[in-house]
Amino acid sequence: MTATSPLPLKAKDFATDQEVRWCPGCGDYAILKAVQKVLADLGVSRHNTVFVSGIGCSSRFPYYMETFGFHSIHGRAPAIASGVKLTNPELDVWVVTGDGDGLSIGGNHMLHVLRRNVDLQILLFNNEIYGLTKGQASPTSRRGTRSPSTPFGSIDPALVPALFALGAGARFVARSIDTAQAHLAETLKRAHAHRGASFVEIFQNCLVFNDAVFEGFTARDTAADTQLLLEHGQPLLFGAERNRGLRLQHNSLTLEIVTVGENGVTEADVLVHDQTNRTLAALLAGLPQPAFPMALGVLYDHPATTYHEELQAQVARESEVGPPDLESAILKSNTWTVA
């Protein structure tokens, strides 16, 4: 947060004149609002900001951002964004995708953009359904989801996006909720501050095809018991009394819920969140639902050299020994002269 620095642009300065065409009540509106606010808070310029998307409801996002934008083809936003970033590393590049776009048709690109650590903010709007094609089950749909393409219930196990991202080698993995404006804004700022690929899963409610699918942990009245809000260096506590916590079972390498003050449990037994611990991040990402609270916030933030930094360093090294120009590259081969 840069509260003391001047904010040249307001959130509305990041809105375009285009009519927003999401369904009334769609979670995407809340995310759009949060992103516009975050950009204003960050004080970034419009001309150095690029939003790249694929296909799907979420991928309409760039049309509503008064920045540079590229609404591309299904699943390919990470590849297009990689080309943008490697061409001009000064740009602040955001990818907007969904569970179908980013994890089904574009799963391969998501895997590789994360492993390469291209310096992008990747916002994956997860509504556990294909919205734009009218409601088919997606890779994150829970098993048994009834939809036009799975009338008797889906039989595919659901993918956990954060686990996928960690498995792919992501160095920043976070989660938030469309309507949790303050938490979402803070999470996006963290993603922006991270150098390298930042993967943010945003639980987004699809009012039309999958309404209330996240109600189990998003409902305000029960949120204290169903949400584990992660903070680096703080114990993994939740509950209205903040007396419930997660303890590591050493013999099985699993987490269990304990209550501080009961059965001899003290706060010292509760695990402390370490955002640089990938193993812990994976345990938190995979907490079984709904038996455990949903881990929200920054699960993992452990920067490493980014792809364009590696590229620039290599080119700088090789430029010292390689041919200085095209002429000498062509003449590097054996030549002969005809008089």
Partner 1 sequence: MSPPAVAGSKVRRDARDAIVIRFSGDSGDGMQLTGTQFTMEAALSGSDLSTFPDYPAEIRAPAGTTFGVSSFQIHFGSTDIMTPGDELDVLVAMNPAALTVNLQDVRVGGLVVVDTSGFTPRNLAKAGFESNPLESDLLNPYQVMPLDIATLTAAAVADFGLSSKEALRSRNMWALGLMLWMYGRGKQATVDWLQKKFAKAPAIAQANIAALNAGHAYGETAELPEHLSAYSVTRADLPPGVYRTVNGADALAFGLIAGARSVGIKQLFFGSYPITPASTLLHALANLRPLGVVTFQAEDEIAAICSAIGASFAGALGVTSSSGPGLALKTEAMGLAVSTELPLVIVNSQRAGPSTGMPTKAEQSDLFQAMYGRNGEAPVIVLAAATPADCFEVAMEAVRLAVGHMTPVILLSDGYLASAAEPWLVPDLSGLPSGSVQYAQPTEGFHPFKRDPKSLARVWPTPGTPGVEHRIGGLEKSYDTGNISYDPDNHAKMTKARAEKVARVADDIPLQEVDVGLDRGRLLLVGWGSTYGPIHRAVLQSREDEGLDVSFIHLRYLNPFPKNLADLLRGFDRILVPEQNTGQLTAILRSTYLVDAQVLAKVTGKPFMVSEIRSAIRATLEGGQPS
Task: List residues near partner 1 by CB under 8 A.
Answer: 16, 18, 45-50, 52, 62-63, 65-73, 76, 78-88, 90-91, 108-109, 111-112, 311, 314-315, 318-319, 321-323, 325-327, 329-331, 333-339
Closest by Cα among 20, 41, 27, 17 to 202: 27
Q: Which residues pair with 51 in a beta bridge?
A: 69, 94
Report the nearest approach of partner 1 to the CB of residue 143 (Å).
28
- Three-state DSSP class for residue 218: helix
Report the nearest approach of partner 1 to the CB of residue 91 (Å).
5
Output the six-digit token pair for 167: 């498995």
52 within 8 A of 81, measured Cβ to Cβ: yes
- C-alpha 199/C-alpha 173 separation (Å) is 5
Closest to partner 1 by CB, 34 or 79? 79
Closest to partner 1 by CB, 112 or 183? 112
Closest to partner 1 by CB, 45 or 305? 45
Please say whether the dihedral angle defined by the alpha carbons of residues 255, 216, 201 and 112, taken in this order, is positive or negative: positive
Report the nearest approach of partner 1 to the CB of residue 102 (Å).
14
Interhelix angle 27-42/181-193, rounded to 10 degrees, is 50
Report the nearest approach of partner 1 to the CB of residue 253 (Å).
32
Closest by Cα among 235, 234, 216 to 225: 216
Closest to partner 1 by CB, 124 or 260? 124
- C-alpha 76/C-alpha 107 separation (Å) is 9
| 149-153: Cβ within 8 A, 24+ apart | none
Report the nearest approach of partner 1 to the CB of residue 75 (Å).
8
Closest to partner 1 by CB, 4 or 333? 333
Burial class for 70, CB neighbours closer than 10 Å (0-12, 13-18, 19+): middle
Report the nearest approach of partner 1 to the CB of residue 132 (Å).
12
Closest by Cα among 138, 315, 306, 310 to 213: 138
Closest to partner 1 by CB, 152 or 336? 336
Alpha helices in 43-133 (DSSP H): 77-87, 99-100, 107-116
Closest to partner 1 by CB, 262 or 327? 327
Report the nearest approach of partner 1 to the CB of residue 320 (Å).
8
Q: Which residues pair with 247 in a beta bridge?
A: 256
Amino acid at 200: V
Report the nearest approach of partner 1 to the CB of residue 146 (Å).
31
Closest to partner 1 by CB, 122 or 260? 122
Report the nearest approach of partner 1 to the CB of residue 188 (Å).
20
Kindly write down the DSSP assignment for every residue of 47-93, as one continuous string: TTEEEEE-SSSGGGGGGGBSSEEEE-STT-HHHHHHHHHHH-TTSEE
* Cis bond upstream, residue 290 (ω within 30): yes
Closest to partner 1 by CB, 59 or 218? 59
